[in-house]
A and B are shown apart, each in its own frame.
Chain A
Amino acid sequence: GAVVSQHPSRVICKSGTSVKIECRSLDFQATTMFWYRQFPKQSLMLMATSNEGSKATYEQGVEKDKFLINHASLTLSTLTVTSAHPEDSSFYICSAKGPGLVDTQYFGPGTRLTVL
């Protein structure tokens, strides 16, 4: 299957700083990328959907000014957590898919963010 990388795998930062997470599709062109968050013992929750060259579509309750998403190319999307606070500590994971409506989403390995 297709490969999606995600960096960093783990990050610890101080409260108030910003953190950027990169998601790359290594062997296919991802017309759409997705960002999810997972809290302990909960399911993966979709935060936003981004199409290459367009503004991201955020799910209800997700602050677009706090979670900045950029999808500037067909192989790279970034999520920036701005002015992070301890409640932003979570597991963030991206996925990417091609243009078909029911195409498989290929996932990165995720990023564990801890805000002190």
Chain B
Amino acid sequence: ILNVEQSPQSLHVQEGDSTNFTCSFPSSNFYALHWYRWETAKSPEALFVMTLNGDEKKKGRISATLNTKEGYSYLYIKGSQPEDSATYLCAFFGNEKLTFGTGTRLTIIP
């Protein structure tokens, strides 16, 4: 059974502050690491698909890094806004399927 862990489970951040959270995954049989943002009552929204060790991707105020040798990825949000409140999921893609972590629930305090 693959173990994909995310920490922290939940996080409260003041509007305007920056934050980051972690996804750890197996370093063997790695093909890709996916990040999603999931707002309540909506579809999970794809943020990044990362495949190469050392990869860094950016989308607006959100960025992510990838270390496949040690099996972790960080997601960073710069200058948090209320609309960033959501659950952020990472998923390890290996053996042709996604294995999800339980997510980090982010709440931005106005």
Contacts and interface: CB of A to CB of B under 8 A. Distances in A.
B101 A102 contact: no
B4 A107 contact: no
A54 interface: no
A109 B41 contact: yes
Majority DSSP secondary structure for residues of B touching A: strand
Interface residues of B, number: 24
A9 to B, nearest CB: 8
A71 to B, nearest CB: 16
A96 to B, nearest CB: 11
Majority DSSP secondary structure for residues of A touching B: loop
A1 interface: yes
Interface string A78-116: 000000000000000100000001111111111000000
B45 A1 contact: yes
Contacts of A103: 49
A43 B4 contact: yes
Given A43-B100, A46-B98, A105 B46 contact: yes
Interface string B42-81: 1111100101000000000000000000000000000000
A105 to B, nearest CB: 6
Interface of A: 1, 4, 34, 36, 41-46, 49, 93, 101-110
